Each structure stands twice: as structure tokens, then as C-alpha cells.
Amino acid sequence: MAKKQVERRTSTAIQFTHQSEKLSLHAHQAKDEESQGAMAVEARFITPQDPVIETENGARLPAVPLKEALELNRLRDQVEGQSSESGRQSRDPSRLKHEESVEESSQAESTQSTRPDASLRNAIPPSRTNPLFPELPLYGPPSLLRDIQCIGFRLSSAILSLAFLGVIVLGSAFTSIPLMFRHIVMRLTFRNPDARRPFYEEEKRRQRIRAEEAMEWKHKRRRSESSSKAEDGNDEEQVGQKEEEFEPTEGGPDPLVCDLGYYARRVGLDAEIYEVMTEDGFIIQLVHVYNPKEYTNASPSQRAHGAPVVFTKPLDHDRSSNTSSATSSQSAHPSNKHKYPLLLVHGLLQSSGAYCANDDSSLAFFLCKSGYDVWLGNNRCGFNPQHQLLDTTDPRMWNWNIRQMGVMDLPALVSRVLSETGFPKLGLICHSQGTTETFVALAREQRPDLGDKISVFCALAPAVYAGPLIGKMYIKFMRIISPGMFRIMFGIHSFIPFMMTMHSFLPGRLYGALGYRVFSFLFDWTDDRWDQRLRNRFFQFAPVYVSAESMRWWLGRECFASQKCILATREEGLIEDEEDEEEDDYYTHSTEQSTERMLDHQSHPDRPQPNRSRKAWFDEHVPPFALWVAGADELVDGRRLLRRFERGREPHVRVVHSKIIEGYEHLDVLWAIDSVEKVAKEVRVVLWKTVPEDLRARCRVPKECESVGVWEDPGVIAAERAVK
């Protein structure tokens, strides 16, 4: 008997070694120093469906298939000599909870599939997100075979993806020919083609202002150079000058640089970069925008990343003695009050610079000057791919999609902002893909507790449902090819990295013009509402490095392009459409009645009452939502998302603001000349009215928000009235 037990333990130890080697940074045979401490020892569950690997030295490796993670933990428990029951009691409670959830979900799925009376319409599915997030492939540690495969994928993708990009560039050039001839004809007939632009006069006015500011900056530099020769006279001149609240420290002609801090300094602000480590080991950038007259830069050690964990320290609501940015940023202000923190997250193929490229009309600069503490989050890889253990040649560095961005990047960014500011909540503003990762993270089966850290979620051009652009030929092509063919064409590393190569050596003006033409062709955008003379600047901050796997999630066979929704299958969407058609017999489509339907949904007993909440995506942790939908957006369908909330499919969602901006396209919510009036000012008010009342006393009141009261939930008010 004892011999059999020894043999069994030996066999289990060998199995654990093999499983660990499959998930480790390097093969165990490696003897170099780099491999020491990189052996996989445990799978840590971030959510029930998202395990990451922890190594001997406490470092993290990215997500692996669920089956592999569970097998590693099971073998580890057996090797440690634990019985099934005692092992479960001694293990990490959070990991145990997640593993139990996985087991219960599997059992529920099995029960669900065997119920003879479970119809598609009425059955409660075991998971709202699993069908939309197929497991990522498993890439083991470096080996001769894996390295040869990686080289093969790199070679095939270098040729095929460049051919694909070439077709797109040629297509954009071909479609630009009619526009070019029209432009030439108008010039030859002594007409100004730009005069047809809707904001032509405003564009000319802004151009004049920029020219005057450039000239003033030139004179300022001359005065500064001559001040050393006439120090006394210069002092007398400065006495009579009124000090500006936001005094630019950069100026002159725009050199078109990819530097967010430079554009902040042009409008009298500045920026500093923090590093944040996600729970799967990626190092991402968080940018703090501030007024240099009120804030002293944090030291490099303070801005460095910490451990790959989030929400671990209880937040001190007073932190008066803390030297973090929360305290130092307010010390120079007479009111001695904190600014309420905001986190802004960018869209697909973009970076945080998208919020900072439009001078004072930039959303980030506008909110900072209004009196908020503005932080800008960048997703993994971006302009500078970094990981705790991996390098860019390792396919595991690029083995992620929107799920990991939502489940790991967003909580890491929120956690760091709250830690630096000392607040228990923040306001979250996202555009396009940033809204996607937030909706994914807040889903009740992902990280719903994240909602407790957010006072309001402002979604600009929310990317939840696909728009008609999904039917374009090139997207259809990417949707019909198999996952294997997709990887052959676009690789298993970065998606078309040649775009970034062009960014590094092409002149800014040429790169900006080329970027606009290509993206305009791909997504049907126009620059009609933008300041045309800033357009090249907008494209200095895009594209960035993204994984081929994430683009496959957006455009490939199984996921968004096919399902046309981020959190529901296509079949569920068809059921929703059928229910909506039935309900439309009782309602018209006017905006006024649509709003009434959203607020008083339960007061119409004479219409069909399907149990829509049975497939709700969010639970009671979800924060209030505010949505700005671009009315002419062909990329995503924001109207359908509003309809989901109006029809009562999300009983826990409280919509504090919703607006459809007719004529706006996908990027107009950020870059349109009138975006300050139509978006930014409303965002400023919505953010302040959703700040919890107990936090207002310690916050500086933003500009033009003095009379804004605390938002009151209509549902809560109605319930209180019913009780009375």
C-alpha cells in the first residue's frame, strides 16, 4: 500500500512538472539566470473565467485556457499532499470562490442542456458572455518548434497583411480621385471648396487666433532673451502684466509631434506619466494632466508601477498628511479643496492623445480647466509594449483581446487613480472601444464590483451593437476566413506592425494625411466638422500597437462581427427584435414617448410584459450611465443600446443622461468644432451632479456647476412615493 502511494505521488509530481512546464516562462531545462524563479506554480483567478499564471518569484504571465489552469491547481494540491476537501479549505479563498463558480457554471450548463422544456426564448443561459469570448490559444514556453512556428507566422503575415494594407490604401486612393477632381474644378472656376464646410468661418477664426498666439510666443521668446540684458526694466514691465490662470509654456508653429505633454503645455497645462501593472503582468501608461501652478510633479519612484494587484488597500478618505498627487495638487489653491478625479479611456487603435489634440477644445484639457483632476488611461501595448516577464517577440505578449482589456486593464487604471487621489470613487469617461471594455468589465459575470468604484460612466459613441459598416466587403472577408487563416494572414503578434514603422519615419504632415484617408475609407468618416488644420495632429496619436488576436475578436468569425453585439449572441438579438416589434404596436417612436417609456415602463399593464430582465447583463453594482450617441455613426449602433435601456432589459441600469447628436459621426464626439457645446459642457455637468453628496464637501466645485444639484434616481423617488 505504501509503495502504491509513493508511486502515485511520484506520478502526480511528474504530471505537475509537465503541466507547470507547459505554462512557465521558460522550459525547465533552461539553465540561464532569466529562467530562475519563472516556473509556473499556481493559477490565479481574476474572474471565474480568467485565470493568470503566477510564477515562483510572484510574477504573472497572461491568461491561459481555463482547463489548463484548473489542471495546474489540482495537481499542485495533490503534490502538496492535500486531500480534496482539506486542500480546498487551505487554498486562497478568492481562487476557491472562482473555481467553485466555474464548476457550478459547468453543472448549470449541463443541466440546462438536458432540460426538454427549455426553449430558446425562456431558458436562462448559464453565461451571458462565454459564447462571445472563445478561449485564447495556449502558447507554451520557447522551444525550437515554437520558434519555427512564430517565424512562419511572421513571414506569412508580413507578406499577406502588407498586401491587405496595400489593397486598403489603393482603395482609399481610388475613392479619393472624384473628390480630388471636384476640388480642382472648383479651384479652376475661382470657387473655394472649403467654403462649403459647415464651420468654415469658425475654422478661419481659429486659424487667425493660432497665428496671433504664435506671433505672441515669438515676441515673448525675444523678451525673455533680452531680459538678461535689461533685468530691471523687464521687472517693471512684468509688474503691469496680469498673470494668466493657465499660462502656456510651449508655443509657436505646430511641429506635429506625438507628445501629449507638449500639447498640454501649449494650453497652460502639463502632464506626467505613471506606470501601472495589470494583474496579468502588462505595464501600461496612465497620464496625469494638471495645472503646473497648483501641482508639483511626483518623483519617478512615485510614478513607477507597483505589484500586479488591484483594490488591495483600504482608501483613507482624509489623507491630509499624504504626499501623493491628491494632496500636492491642491496645496496651491486658496480653497484647499481637492479636485474630483476622472479617468478617460480611448478607443480602438488610438491612445490617450485623442483627448488632447484639439487645443482648448480637447475634452481632457476642458475638464482639467473646469476644475476636475484628469487622468488618461492607455490600454496594454499602445506605443510602448511592456510586460513584467515577456518581450515583444513572445506570442504570449499578444495573446489577449477586449476581455482582458476590460477585466484587467480597466480595474488596474481605476485602482491606481483612486490610490493616488485618495477618493473612493471616480468619474469614468470612455470613447468607442473604451466603452466596450467598460461594459464587458461591469457585466455581472466579469467584475461587477468595479461599478462600486465609479460614480458615473459617460459613454461617448458607445460600441456595443454593430452598425451597418460591418457589412463592408473587407470586413466580410475577415469574418468568413477561419481563425487559422486569420492568424496566417495577420500573425499571432502585433496587428500589421508596418503601420507603426511608417509612423516612426514618415513626416507628420504626410503621415496625418495618409492616416486620415485610410481611416476615412475604412470607417466612412469625414472631417467636415473638424478643424481641418488640426487634422494631421489628430492622427499623430494613432494607430498604436494592438494584438492580432484583439482584432480577430472585433472582425473575425466567432465574435463581434458575427454576433453584432459585445454581450449577447446574434440569436438573442433576434429575439429582442421580435419582442420590440410586438411592443411597438403599443407605442410610437417619438423621442418624448421614448423617454416616458424608459422612466414609467411598469405603468402600462395593457401591453405585453415579457421578462426582459432574465437576460440582463448588469447587476445592482452597475454605476449610473450617461450616453452620447453619434446620430450618423455607421460603425456602431448607439440607438439600439438606448433602446435596450428604454425597454427595461436592464432593470439595474440608471440612465442619468442620454443624447443622440444628429449629424455626428463616430469621432465627432471628440473632435468636432462644436463638441464643447454639444458634449463637453454636458459631460462636465453630469459628472458633478453624480458625485456622491458626502464627497462634494471635500471637492472644488467645477466651473459653471455652482447651481448643479445632486442627481436623484427616479426609481428611488418613485419607490419612496409609493411607500408614502
Give tens-digit pLDDT for 495-507.
999 999 998 889 9
pLDDT (0 to 100) of residue 410 = 98
Per-residue pLDDT, averaged over 245-251, amounts to 89
pLDDT (0 to 100) of residue 525 = 85
Reply yes or no on whether the pLDDT at 306 is more than 80: yes
Whether residue 575 is contained in a domain is answered as yes
Reply yes or no on whether the pLDDT at 325 is more than 50: no
pLDDT (0 to 100) of residue 32 = 54
Question: CA 522 → CA 168, 172, 601, distances in Å?
Answer: 8, 8, 39
Contact 649, 622 (CB under 8 A): no
Whether residue 171 is contained in a domain is answered as no
Which of the four pLDDT bands, split at 50, 70 and 90, describes residue 128?
low
Task: Give me the chain's average pLDDT, please.
Answer: 84
Q: What gap in Å lies between CA 702 and CA 680, rounded to an integer? A: 13
Domain finish residue from 84, 115, 146: 115
Reply yes or no on whether the pLDDT at 71 is more than 60: yes
> What is the bridge-based pairing of β-strands 340-345 and 426-431?
parallel
Which of the four pLDDT bands, split at 50, 70 and 90, describes residue 50?
very high
pLDDT (0 to 100) of residue 414 = 98
Domain finish residue from 86, 115, 144: 115
Encode pLDDT of 274-295 as tens digits.
999 999 999 999 999 999 999 9
pLDDT (0 to 100) of residue 13 = 87
Per-residue pLDDT, averaged over 73-77, amounts to 92
Domain finish residue from 56, 86, 115: 115
Q: Of 379-383, 697-701, 707-711, which gets the smallest average pLDDT?
A: 707-711
Whether residue 573 is contained in a domain is answered as yes
Encode pLDDT of 156-206 as tens digits.
999 999 999 999 999 888 888 888 888 888 888 888 888 889 999 999 999
Contact 249, 270 (CB under 8 A): yes
Q: How many domains does the chain have?
A: 2
Q: What gap in Å lies between CA 140 and CA 142, rounded to an integer? A: 7
Reply yes or no on whether the pLDDT at 29 is more than 80: no
Which of the four pLDDT bands, split at 50, 70 and 90, describes residue 224?
confident
Whether residue 578 is contained in a domain is answered as yes
Whether residue 413 is contained in a domain is answered as yes
Strand-pair partners of 270: 290
Whether residue 204 is contained in a domain is answered as no
Reply yes or no on whether the pLDDT at 509 is more than 70: yes
Contact 431, 461 (CB under 8 A): yes
CATH of the domain at 497: 3.40.50.1820
Which of the four pLDDT bands, split at 50, 70 and 90, describes residue 466?
very high
Q: Of 80-89, 431-440, 666-675, 699-708, which gets the smallest average pLDDT?
A: 80-89
Locate cell 519563472: which residue? 38
Reply yes or no on whether the pLDDT at 434 is more than 90: yes
Contact 280, 369 (CB under 8 A): no
How many other C-beta atoms lie within 10 A of the C-beta of residue 399?
Answer: 24
Whether residue 217 is contained in a domain is answered as no
Whether residue 189 is contained in a domain is answered as no
Contact 439, 402 (CB under 8 A): no
Reply yes or no on whether the pLDDT at 234 is more than 80: no
Reply yes or no on whether the pLDDT at 658 is more than 90: yes
Q: Where is pLDDT greater, at 180 or 112?
A: 180
Residues of 71-93 as b/e, b for ≥16 C-beta within 10 angstroms? Answer: bbbbbbbbbeeeeeeebeeebee
Q: Which domain holds residue 635?
A: 260-601+608-723
pLDDT (0 to 100) of residue 38 = 82
Residue 491 φ/ψ region, left for φ over 0, alpha for ψ in the -120 to 50 degree band, beta for the rest: left
pLDDT (0 to 100) of residue 92 = 53
Reply yes or no on whether the pLDDT at 266 is more than 90: yes
> What is the bridge-based pairing of β-strands 340-345 and 372-377?
parallel
Whole-angstrom Cα Rg for the chain: 27
Enzyme catalytic residues: 432, 633, 666
User: pTM above the 0.85 mark?
Assistant: yes
Reply yes or no on whether the pLDDT at 106 is more than 50: no
Q: Of 177-191, 647-661, 664-678, which gets the smallest average pLDDT?
A: 177-191
